[in-house]
Structure 1
Amino acid sequence: MLIVLSKKKFLKLFIVLFLLFSIITCFEKIDLQAFKGEKKDNLNSYTINASFDDKLKNLSCNQNIVYVNNTQNNLNELYFHIYPNAFSKEEYAPFVKSELKEAYPNGFSEGHIKIKSILSNKAKLNYSISGEKEDILMVKLNKELKPSEKIDVYIEYDVKLPNSIGRFGYGDNTINITNWYPIACVYDERGWNKKGYEKIGDPFYSNISDFDVSINIPNKYKIASTGIIKSKKKENNRNIFKVDAKNVRDFAFILSDKFTILSTNIKDTNIYSYFFDEKYGKEALEVAKDSLVVFNDLFGKYPYKTYSVVESDFFIGGMEYPNLVMIDKGLYDQNSKFYLEYVVAHETAHQWWYSLVGNDEISEPWLDEALTEYSTILYFEQKYGKEVKDRLIKNMKVRTITKQSKHIFKSTTEFDNSIDYSLCVYSKGALMIDNIRKKVGDDVFFDTLRKYYNENIYKNVTSSQFMNMWEEEGVDTEKIMNGNN
């Protein structure tokens, strides 16, 4: 995610930092690199049926999860995130206090998930809900699940969307249905990761899975979605979409009765822009295309068939999901033209760093955000030249000059506010990666990033893995981490 703290704060910061910035128009033809990633075996799979009630802003859902025990331990229970419950009370809401009025322009509005029943092989399973925000679902298994064994877990539930213009909820133009279904917590060397929906950063950590989703909506709505829409069936003034999403980390969709849609493509990927203003919708589409071309060449091929950039009721800037990104509709105007390009490029880079190469975004938020932020700089360097890249790096140094005492290797919960989080995790992190590039040179730098991508696609990585990779290339990572060149 790329954070915009508020329109007023952003415009003041933008005017100061980018007054001297001038964009040099230049386009380069770039050949795509061969893709070497392979599909991970033994994925969890989700089959979900969701029907949307437009009046109540409610989803009626059932889903079957085929859960695979990819651990070395016998499991007696499974844990799932049920993120909508973080919106059930104002004190739970995943926004810092200063953002509440922007997040809830009509006042606080409740959202939640109601679990109705959980079964396995038609037998009831006991369950409980825990966590500081009541957003963790524990399902007790009737028998021990051994390593490599699978189990089907069937869940019926309802989801109430809040009138909120954050990631999850609805505004005047869009209905943002993200982080909405029970998704399995990651079990790694630390055990179950049951962290809640935090107020700062992107509080998500998930494994690659397969999704087969049926979405039943009123026919006035157009839909932007993770995955590929395989079919559309009309039924009683409603449309039923069958969506297939293989090898993705999450599943999200956005609805609007106001969308205009444009598309283009690069080789194996169809690119879509969903928007309300044609001029800037076209610009967003071109940036998405240019970004995919640049990152395909620099890091390795984007393996999915679709990618969508969606203008949304979303006040925080931009947010990434597999095959789909949300962009604040406030950026689709002349005064925000540069930042629209910056945010679209940033969220596109997240398709590599988060969507394909994943990590624990709560414990180690810098790992995807710093690399994504630096990838955004690389986009501008490739498209407009080294002079523009140097200006952006210089601006980052100016922004972080007062943050020299704060290191970037902290969890989201250790930051006091979104400003410190953004400056340290994004800007200081990107500067650290630029220092690594200077140390190893361009050939080694880009070869190593391509290797990192190809070896870790569809996996989750850690900071240690990332730093060890550079140590093998002779970088004193401890010195770099401490901010010394």
Structure 2
Amino acid sequence: MKRFACTVFLIMALFSSTLQLEVLADPVQTARPKYEIQAKYDASKQTVSGHMVVTIPEMRLFPQKEAFFQLYPNVFKDWKYEKESKPEKPGYLNVKNVQVDGVTVKENVKETILQVPFGKEVPIGKTARIEMDYELVLPKGGTRLNTYENTAFLAQWYPMLVVQDKEGWHNDPYTTVGDPFYTQMSDFEVSFDLPAGYQVISSAKDQASPAEKMVLKQDNVRDFVAVLTKDYQVIRGKSGKTDVNLWYLKGMEKESKPLHEAALSSMKFFGERFGEYPYEEVDVVLGETGFGIAGMEYPGLITSIAKMPTMTGETPAISVVAHELAHQWWYGVVGSNQAKEPWLDEGLTTFSEHLFMQKQMKEDDRDWLKKASDKTDEIHKAVGIHSAQKLYDYPNEIYGIMVYIRPAAMMYQLMDDIGEEKVMEILKTYYERYQFQTATSQDFFKVANEVSGKDLKPFFDKWLYFKDGEPKKTNTAS
């Protein structure tokens, strides 16, 4: 849930104002890179410096003569996007002393892309060890990467290995619309050297109390996020085998308890319907994570605002927390290429959020989803954009309604057509079959056809691609 146009509750405000089978896994999806990161945080300078080693796995699709890394913080050095989202203070990520298997190489950096040439080709069956020193200068007011009083939000904060698959290297450019981040499952060992009194909240199973030195380990996740803080307090709980922690700041006491209860309830709800959550811990962090970010998902950690506006006043942001926790299933465990097919995680997540709000919180927005979906028909006729395009095709103003809202309405219509039980079976099968992998739209369609026993291609063609045929039908809540 990103930016104002990508946040469901603000899309609603804008709208109202304007009206298992086993499969053989690809080696690139089963062999995982390993990151070993040493990080030292200087709170006075707001910098993170240290050393990183990435080991390229021996099982790959291709021999390699080079590797690429994303240096996302560099977008905050020379801001090229909307003026209103420009950071108050610039930030960047510098690397130096790059080596491959102990041999110094000359790296090449162009904006956010780091190219690391190998001295010689590394064949399939051989690993490669890439290491570098780095310095991160944190921006103030950056999206996702931010500092707020005695807290540093570290998202996309280290050189991130670019995915190479059958389509080649995915050196996707940064954009302020949606999530331009496509990563593969990796193993992490991250050591932090911290000022006195600081706590780390991260994608790993975290230590319970502040410490000046700590080592965190987490295998089989898509990236690693960390919040370094002196200010946050925690409410702890458990959903099944998973520790569910909610972190809040002074002044958020009123919202913290209902949001923690919602986190526990939604984790249980999604686990029962889609499949068991596989990690030991998930953290919910409330607060100012960056410009325009109402909520954001990462492996094992989500961020959220504490409260949100409604027609009757402000209320705890339960739907935001539910949305971001649903991403633990649709993005975290079952991955997708968010730059190429953003609907696949955002649409399923928005549907999951609305289903939770309907079933558990007794807030049924299907009638609103119908009206919003009807609006997308008008948008498509006017500009020709559909719901299954690349991230870069969408203007920010219509991204949310096309990528979040219409696919969610589609899933409700599918429930009306084939039954709720079948739709839950589709999602459960999809989750079981593609967990820890990168799925595609075609993978989802295939599962839907198998489970339903129907050819659903015409249905998905109408809803996602606006292809000609009989007009889609959308039932309102009874």
Give the TM interval when normalised to the shorter protein. Answer: 0.7 to 0.9
Q: How many angstroms apart in 2 are the aligned matches of 1:376 and 1:12? A: 14
1:450 aligns with 2:428: yes
Q: How many angstroms apart in 2 are the aligned matches of 1:61 and 1:258? A: 24
Give the structure 1 partner of residue 124 of structure 2: 147
Q: Deviations over 1:192-245 (max 9, x none)?
A: 1110221210011011111010112212333211111258785xxxx1121111
The SS at the match of 1:62 is strand
Q: Deviations over 1:15-57 (max 9, x none)?
A: 948xxxxxxxxxxxxxxxxxxxx99743111111100111111
Aligned pairs for 1:74-113 within 5 A: 74-91=63-80, 96-97=82-83, 99-100=84-85, 104=87, 107=88, 109-113=89-93
Cα shift at 1:331: 3.8
Aligned pairs for 1:102-181 within 5 A: 104=87, 107=88, 109-130=89-110, 134-172=111-149, 174-181=151-158
Give the structure 2 partner of residue 468 of structure 1: 446
Cα distance change, pair 138–232 in 1 and its aligned pair in 2 (3 A): farther
Q: How many angstroms apart in 2 are the aligned matches of 1:289 and 1:396? A: 30
Cα distance change, pair 332–166 in 1 and its aligned pair in 2 (3 A): farther
Contact 1:284/1:341 (CA < 8 Å) preserved in 2? yes
Contact 2:247/2:284 (CA < 8 Å) preserved in 1? yes
Q: Deviations over 1:37-81 (max 9, x none)?
A: x99743111111100111111111211111115433211111111
Q: Deviations over 1:74-119 (max 9, x none)?
A: 111111111111111022xxx544x42xx53xx3x21111111111
Give the structure 2 partner of residue 297 of structure 1: 272
Give the structure 2 partner of residue 13 of structure 1: 13
Cα shift at 1:428: 0.8
Cα shift at 1:404: 4.5
Q: Deviations over 1:271-297 (max 9, x none)?
A: 111112112111221111111000001
Cα shift at 1:265: 0.5
Contact 1:271/1:307 (CA < 8 Å) preserved in 2? yes
Cα shift at 1:435: 2.3
Cα shift at 1:396: 3.7
Q: 2:256 aligns with which of 255, 272, 281?
A: 281
The SS at the match of 2:407 is helix
Give the structure 2 partner of residue 49 of structure 1: 38
- Aligned-partner residue type, residue 466 of structure 1: F
Give the structure 2 partner of residue 265 of structure 1: 238
Contact 2:31/2:60 (CA < 8 Å) preserved in 1? no
Moved more, 470-479 or 444-453: 470-479
TM-score scaled by length of structure 1: 0.85
Q: Deviations over 1:312-347 (max 9, x none)?
A: 213321000001011135649994326x11110000
Q: How many angstroms apart in 1 are the aligned matches of 2:78 and 2:197? A: 31
Cα distance change, pair 77–353 in 1 and its aligned pair in 2 (3 A): same
Contact 1:69/1:145 (CA < 8 Å) preserved in 2? no
Q: How many angstroms apart in 2 are the aligned matches of 1:232 and 1:154? A: 31
Q: How many angstroms apart in 1 are the aligned matches of 2:395 and 2:11? A: 22
Give the superposed CA RMSD.
Answer: 2.7
The SS at the match of 1:147 is coil
Q: How many angstroms apart in 2 are the aligned matches of 1:328 and 1:173? A: 18
Q: How many angstroms apart in 2 are the aligned matches of 1:431 and 1:232? A: 43
- Aligned-partner residue type, residue 133 of structure 2: E
1:244 aligns with 2:183: no
Cα distance change, pair 263–16 in 1 and its aligned pair in 2 (3 A): same
The SS at the match of 1:439 is helix
- Aligned-partner residue type, residue 477 of structure 1: K
Q: How many angstroms apart in 2 are the aligned matches of 1:274 and 1:174? A: 12
Contact 1:470/1:477 (CA < 8 Å) preserved in 2? no
Contact 2:285/2:304 (CA < 8 Å) preserved in 1? yes
Q: How many angstroms apart in 2 are the aligned matches of 1:5 and 1:223? A: 31
- Aligned-partner residue type, residue 59 of structure 1: V
TM-score scaled by length of structure 2: 0.86
Moved more, 221-230 or 274-283: 221-230
Q: 2:388 aligns with which of 405, 409, 423?
A: 409
Cα shift at 1:463: 1.2
Q: How many angstroms apart in 2 are the aligned matches of 1:299 and 1:62? A: 39
List runs of 5+ in structure 1 lacking aligned partners. 18-37
The SS at the match of 2:124 is coil
Give the structure 2 partner of residue 207 of structure 1: 184
- Aligned-partner residue type, residue 364 of structure 2: V
Give the structure 1 partner of residue 56 of structure 2: 67
Give the structure 2 partner of residue 23 of structure 1: none
List runs of 5+ in structure 2 lacking aligned partners. 18-24, 464-470, 473-478
Cα distance change, pair 89–455 in 1 and its aligned pair in 2 (3 A): same
Contact 1:269/1:304 (CA < 8 Å) preserved in 2? yes
The SS at the match of 2:244 is strand
- Aligned-partner residue type, residue 389 of structure 2: K
Cα shift at 1:394: 3.9
Contact 1:82/1:136 (CA < 8 Å) preserved in 2? yes
- Aligned-partner residue type, residue 136 of structure 1: I
Contact 2:295/2:305 (CA < 8 Å) preserved in 1? yes
Aligned pairs for 1:334-483 within 5 A: 335-337=313-315, 340-385=317-362, 388-394=364-370, 396-397=372-373, 400=376, 402-405=378-381, 406-417=385-396, 419-472=397-450, 473=452, 474-483=454-463
Contact 1:436/1:475 (CA < 8 Å) preserved in 2? no
Contact 2:343/2:403 (CA < 8 Å) preserved in 1? yes
Q: How many angstroms apart in 2 are the aligned matches of 1:332 and 1:279? A: 15
